[in-house]
Amino acid sequence: MAVFEPEAEGIVLPLEETGADVVGRSPWAIAGRRLLRNKLGLAAGALFLLIVAVSLAAPLYANHIAHTDPFASNLSGTFELNGKTVQVIQQGGGKLGLGETPVGPTWHAKYFLGADQQGRDVAARVLYGGRASLFIGVGSALLACLIALILALIAGYFGGTVDLVLSRLMDLIWAFPLYLLAISLATVLLARPSDKPLKVWFITFSAGSLWIPLLIIGLVYVPYVFRPIRGQVLSLREKEFVEAAIAQGAGSFRLVFREILPNVLSIVIVLLPLMIATTILTEAALSYLSIGVQSPQASWGTIIEDGQALLYTRPWVAIAPGIMIVLVVLALNVFGDALRDALDPRSKVRLK
């Protein structure tokens, strides 16, 4: 019985892999093994999960540690710090000692990062803002990938007129400037009267709902995911294993879901963390322009907008959510690169 040897087949494996590591294993098992060896990628994924966990724990921090309501104004409030009573909004500020200035970072449980112009705890608002930003970012990326995957499978497999119509529709959306299209959609949806909310099937979207920016961002990014998946489907449709399945009498349902879909899932998995990073940035930009997350909700973009007027006196109001955005985007991009290296055989194995 012949034994498969990578070197004899003209395949050069990386230094950390041998033929025994590859032979007899499924592609997903090999990808998982390679991902576990990428320490930087795993650290980036762990950082992202840590930020998600900390954001989900926002109510615990606000209620049991900071003992504050991050959404209620506290202009005349006070709190105890090292045995002294401190005003949340302090009279006088800057070199001239004029006006009112929020308390700065205390580095204690209460007002750890200081307060904003409304006397609200910045640290608690950053955690709550992370819940909204991550919900919209992850949800819109999943929505974009799901819709793009379905449309790409239909367009790539059936081809012809179906492919022409869907591809031109994606090109039409692609032709619009991204943020201009998102701003236009958000303005139309948010301008609806409160007594006439948007209804999609059995779901009702009110003006302040987080589902509105999630839906807008998800739809806007569909063409960006559609094109690479469609190209892969067009390539797979001409492969020998698909022709063999057709020769065996396989129908369209089996060809799409059992032959083609498993081979394009790796592209979706690689694109997903990169899309989450992109959608989080888009949500922050729209919220900064006041057409994303609406009050009383908060996101990292709205907190940056709140801190814009305090950059010279209390810069942590804007710096803290900015740091969170940078960490999340960096972690997702590094983890996405690690997934690509693990799932793409050409990044690990090259032919002589």
Output the pLDDT for position 27: 74
- Split into its structural domains, the chain has a count of 1
Distance set, CA 229 to CA 154, 157, 169, 202 (Å): 11, 11, 16, 30
Helix (H, G, I), strand (E, B) or coil at 280: helix
List, as one string, the DSSP characters of 192-208. Answer: S-TTS-EEETTEEE-TT
Q: Give alpha helix (H) positions in 112-159.
A: 122-158
Is 257 a member of any domain?
Answer: yes
Q: Where are the alpha helices (DSSP H) in 237-315?
A: 240-247, 252-254, 261-288, 300-307
User: What's residue 18's pLDDT?
Assistant: 56
Nearest-angstrom CA–CA distance, 240 and 247 = 10
Q: How far is CA 143 from CA 69, 84, 215, 291, in A?
A: 32, 51, 8, 20
Q: What is the pLDDT of residue 346?
A: 58
Instruction: Tell whether 294 is covered by a domain.
Output: yes
Given this model, what pLDDT does residue 250 score? 80
Looking at residue 345, its amino acid is P
- 104 found inside a domain: no
Q: Which of 39, 122, 177 is nearest to 303 (CA)?
A: 122
Q: Is residue 85 helix, strand or coil?
A: strand
Domain of residue 188 covers 42-59+122-351
How confident is the model at residue 96, as a pLDDT? 52
Query: Which pTM does this prediction carry?
Result: 0.87
Distances (CA, A) of 235 to 151, 238, 263: 16, 6, 11
Q: Does the residue 250 lie in any domain?
A: yes
Task: Look at strands 100-102 and 198-200 and give their pairing.
Answer: unpaired
Would you say residue 10 lies in a domain?
no
Predicted local confidence at residue 24, as pLDDT: 56
Residue 325 lies in a domain: yes
pLDDT reported for residue 342: 87
Residue 305 within any structural domain of the chain = yes
* Angle of CA points 195, 201, 203, to nearest 5°: 55
Q: Which residue has the tokens 């090292």?
A: 82
Residue 348: per-residue pLDDT: 45
Domain for residue 133, yes or no?
yes
Distances (CA, A) of 241 to 6, 123, 247: 22, 55, 10
The CATH number of residue 314's host domain is 1.10.3720.10
How far apart CA 200 and CA 168 sit, in angstroms, is 25
Rounded to the nearest 5°, which phi and psi values hold at 102?
-65, 155
Under-50 pLDDT residues of the chain: 1-12, 348-352
Which residues is 89 bridged to in the sheet? Answer: 102
pLDDT recorded at residue 352: 34
Cβ partners under 8 Å of residue 214, min gap 6: 135, 136, 139, 140, 143
